[in-house]
Amino acid sequence: MRAITKIILHVSDSPDTLDIGVKEIKSWHVNPKPLGNGWSDIGYHAVVRRDGTLELGRPLGVAGAHTKNYNSESVGICWVGRVKYTSLQYLTLLNTTRMLMAVHGLKKTDVYGHSELNPGKGCPNLDMNQFRRDLIK
């Protein structure tokens, strides 16, 4: 198993009314350009749907394709939407992050939003300071 030192949160940047999951996001990532990125798999390890359902993406033992310069050491989790997440999504994000923190011996300071590691990105459209505070409640 590869060493995980970070958990990085993302947003799908799709309309908040669109309920998609791993299947659709994977097609965006694997379809050849210009329809997609031409990657070998979905970039994220997990996707949180609008109803809070957690779907598994790329295997945890495989480096993701979600945050430039940090893929080899991180797990990428994406919530579906753009601006407004549901309370069920937020709860799933918290619980999934807590579980990954416990499994990999991480602290709340090891949890990042994509924009915190790659400036210029708006993703994950969450207040990461509040999210980190909520992790310990």
- Contact residues for 76 (Cβ-Cβ < 8 A; gap 6+): 8, 10, 43, 44, 45, 46, 58, 64, 66, 67
Q: What is the pLDDT of residues 93-136, one digit of tens each?
A: 999 999 999 999 999 999 999 999 998 888 999 999 999 999 98
Q: Is the pLDDT of residue 86 over 70?
A: yes
Q: Could you tell me which CATH number the domain at 6-135 has?
A: 3.40.80.10
6-18 per-position pLDDT tens digit: 999 999 999 999 9
User: Which residues have CB under 8 Å from 122's CB, separation 6+?
Assistant: 11, 115
Cα gap 80→70, rounded to integer Å:
21
Write down the pLDDT at residue 121.
Answer: 84
What is the reported pTM? 0.95
Q: In 14-124, which ranges are E strands?
A: 46-48, 54-56, 74-79, 111-113
Tell me: pLDDT of 2 over 90: no
